[in-house]
Amino acid sequence: MSAFRRIDRPSPNHGPRADGSRVELLILHYTGMPTAADALDRLCDPAAQVSAHYTVDEDGTIFAHVPEDRRAWHAGRSGWRGTGDVNSRSIGVEIVNPGHEFGYRPFPPAQMAAVAELCQGIVKRHGIPAGDVLGHSDVAPDRKEDPGELFDWPGLAAQGIGIWPTPSQDDDGPFNDAEVAALLGRYGYDPAEPRALLAFQRHFHPECLTGIPDPETVRRLRALLRLTGR
């Protein structure tokens, strides 16, 4: 039984998944609005034409918007591993946070605990690989920053949700821009997107948001590919 309150708050903004599509990605977002009420109203407003399957408030309350067998409208123009229409292949979870525009702040422990519990169930139900638990910025690096550099990706990975790279000496060595682009493409990013490396850093090396390859960024990228077998 869940330790967190769950409230049904249906959204009309959804449709069928594309023919033959199965859920293989979990996309985590922040709401990026001043208040939770603002975000919930927008996600359920037919005129907004946006939605998610769930929203997690800062106190850990989970709002359910769209059934998991339906295509919610959360990722927008996006792609991963060479394929678009991320919405047809994913579950989308919004996490209440004002975001970079309205006062970005750390995610409270109760909220992260609820996110972990919710995502554990999603990953198990759909068999989502650890390497395909992603942020919105991973699948739309040219226009999104969420859930951002303050999000506790290592903490989720420790609970079996996603992955966190721990480099070893096998991941050391020289590198060049062409290799970095190729490695990003192997993992799933669009290597032709100029902000792909920054998106990688925002997720996996948040201490270094330069968009420029440095030794530790490359070590973590190599470790990630080694751990996922990509």
Which residue among 103, 138, 158 closes a domain?
A: 158
pLDDT above 90: residue 3: no
Element (H, E) at 214: none
The C-alpha angle with vertex 80 and arms to 78 and 85, in degrees rounded to 5, equals 50
Q: Is 94 a catalytic residue?
A: yes
Query: Residue 1: which pLDDT band, with cuts at 50, 70 and 90?
Result: low
Residue 224 lies in domain: 169-228
pLDDT above 80: residue 166: yes
Q: Are residues 61 and 116 in the same domain?
A: yes
* Residue range 81-129, pLDDT digits in tens: 999 999 999 999 999 999 999 999 999 999 999 999 999 999 999 999 9
User: In the predicted model, what is the mean pLDDT of the chain?
Assistant: 97
Beta strands 14-15; 71-72: pairing state: antiparallel
* Residue range 178-214, pLDDT digits in tens: 999 999 999 999 999 999 999 999 999 999 999 999 9
CATH number of the domain that residue 20 is part of? 3.40.80.10
Question: 163 in a domain, yes or no?
Answer: no
What's the CA gap between 229 and 132, in Å, rounded? 13
Which residues have a Cβ under 8 Å from the Cβ of 168 and sit 6 or more positions away? Answer: 223
13 class by beta-carbon count within 10 Å (0-12 exposed, 13-18 middle, 19+ buried):
buried
pTM: 0.97
Q: Within 10 A of 127 (CB to CB), how many other CB atoms are there?
A: 9
Q: Which two tokens stand for residue 164?
A: 């966190």
**From the candidates 58, 68, 94, 117, which is the catalytic residue?**
94
Query: Residue 5: which pLDDT band, with cuts at 50, 70 and 90?
Result: very high
Q: Are residues 146 and 189 in the same domain?
A: no
Per-residue pLDDT at 27: 98
Cα(first)–Cα(last) distance of the chain, in Å? 36
Q: Which two tokens stand for residue 201?
A: 């850093």
pLDDT above 80: residue 158: yes
Burial 170-204 (b: 16+ CB within 10 A, else e): ebeeebeeeebbebbbebbbbeebebbbbbbbbbb
Question: 151 in a domain, yes or no?
Answer: yes
Question: 86 in a domain, yes or no?
Answer: yes
What's the CA gap between 95 and 28, in Å, rounded? 7
Q: Are residues 11 and 53 in the same domain?
A: yes
Query: Residue 2: which pLDDT band, with cuts at 50, 70 and 90?
Result: confident
What's the CA gap between 96 and 18, in Å, rounded? 28
CATH number of the domain that residue 176 is part of? 1.10.101.10
Which residue among 119, 138, 158 closes a domain?
A: 158
